[in-house]
Structure 1
Amino acid sequence: MPGSLSQTLDVIVIGPGIGGLVTATQLAAKGAQVLVLERYLIPGGSAGYFERNGYRFDVGASMIFGFGRRGTTNLLTRALEAVNVRLETLPDPVQIHYHLPNQLELKVHRDYKQFINELSAKFPHEREGIRRFYDECWKVFNCLNAMELLSLEEPRYLTRVFFQHPFACLGLVKYLPQNVGDIARQHIKDPELLKFIDIECYCWSVVPAEMTPMINAGMVFSDRHYGGINYPKGGVGQIAQKLVEGLEKAGGHIEYQARVTQILLENGKAVGV
């Protein structure tokens, strides 16, 4: 690391994936001296990219949440704004176009009513159950969207949020022990439609409905219509590039081809690398 930095750093972040870069930029925006170390040539981790013959290809996710302009679930928008950078995005009118067995072809439209109407047209006998199930997802989402979203594992944050938004927190309590399968079966009986709910879960949680927490589904199944799916202009790798730009604007630093081989400890506390 640069000699001038070695005595002044508050934080070293190992690996500039999106999580590492958001951590680094949030700390730098609050005045910390931050250094990020990357063993590769570009940032981004599983949200990076590679180039071949003049074309750029994403290496990870291409369905991106968090770029909305309202509420509290627009986490990427807020992370970028914290370090005074912006990223142009392209709204995706359809999250997923399903082509499933038994000729079930269906689009998950950005427009919620359009999606519900198309799904109900495929399962007209389950119209009311479909509405009630996805309404439950909105109940979860509206509770989450009423509070600042930080770590659900931090007791001080949870205590503060409870006193700031008691009704939203109480609204979430009944869903905490429940999975999507539990809720779906309360409203839906058609086994083919229940399989569709399984696929809906599997596409982003890689487990079926009975293994997907209802809290998570409430967020995803609703935010795709509320904030929408937005693709970064220039590719997913631009998220990391913009976060690096913001990090450096805030006084932070990043070094590439800097492979960390050891974390230095003193009295059980990390003090360097």
Structure 2
Amino acid sequence: MRRLLAAALIVLSQPATAQGIAVPFAPPTDRALVYRIEQHRPVEGATRRFSAIRDLKFERADQGYILQATLRAIDSDAPAAGAEPYRAALTPLIGVVLRFRLDGQGRIVGLDNVDAAWGAVQAGIDAMLATFAPDTPRHKAAANVQALFASLSPDGRLALLAGEVQPIFLFAGSTVEGGEGRGLRTVAGSPLGRPVPVEGTLRVVGQPADALDLEEKLAGAGVQVDIHYRLSRTSGLVETQQRSLAVGTLALTESRTLMPAN
């Protein structure tokens, strides 16, 4: 679950000749959206799939927006050792409506129904603990999640609950540089290994109609990260994200897709 806490990217350098491209923040308020995340990573010597589907809806609120996000379903083909921590972390959130408050620049600044949402999550964990015997993987995984949740501050709870939708707003209300792009520093490695510092660049690699294609390449001690983004120049939202992470001989791939609901 700790991997859900977003790491801030730090600008290292910005070429003097780079031309800034303004990114708006104007999410659609006239339609429902679906956000799909699918990840493939090694578990017990085989590549296993982990997926999650969320329903999203934006509405205007004061000078910003409310994002209503609901986890609809999760799935995994991993054996119990790999799947149970994932299921224990996310099952209590299925069907729970989270009303994130965003400012006019696309920053998540609060959760309007935090008490009700957190109460529903806690009830879900309690139900899992009561359902499964103490010596089962599911009970142990649920107990670990309960302990993690109990250790979080209010800011930590918000970061945890917002972690999987945060990448949608990665560039909203900001500027991206053309030309050689910009230098970045962050940490990477989890969930394949211990997080280590990585550095690299983010640059624009294409400008199709009403969109920007961005490429991020980062590297550190034994770690390589490649990310490709398709960014809407109308809404400022990341519509697709393709990530590959290599830690030594281990590899992870992840795709995120934001699209109108059927």
Specify if TM > 0.5. no
- Structure with bigger gyration radius: 1
Structure holding more helix per residue: 1
Q: Relative CO higher for 1 or 2, CA cutoff 8 Å, sep ≥ 6?
A: 1
Q: TM-score, length-normalised on structure 1?
A: 0.28
Q: TM-score, length-normalised on structure 2?
A: 0.29
Structure holding more strand per residue: 2
